[in-house]
Amino acid sequence: MTRYRTTDGKEDLKQRVDPWSTMAIPLAFINGLYVGSYALRMIRQRWEGGPMD
C-alpha cells in the first residue's frame, strides 16, 4: 500500500494500491522461471553437444 499526500501537505487517509508494486513479486517470479528455464536449456544443449530444439 502506498500513502499519498493531499495538496495541502497532509497525509491522505485513503490507501491506494500501487499497481507496479503489486506486480513486482509476480513479475520477478515469472522472470525467474523464464531465465532459469533458458539457462537449463542452454546447459542441456551444451551437455548433449548440439542444438536439439
Domain boundaries, the chain: 20-47
Asked if the model's pLDDT at residue 1 lies above 70, the reply is no
pLDDT tens figures, 32-49: 999 999 999 999 888 888
| Averaged pLDDT of the chain | 82
pTM above 0.85, yes or no: no
Closest of 45, 1, 44 to residue 21, by C-alpha: 1
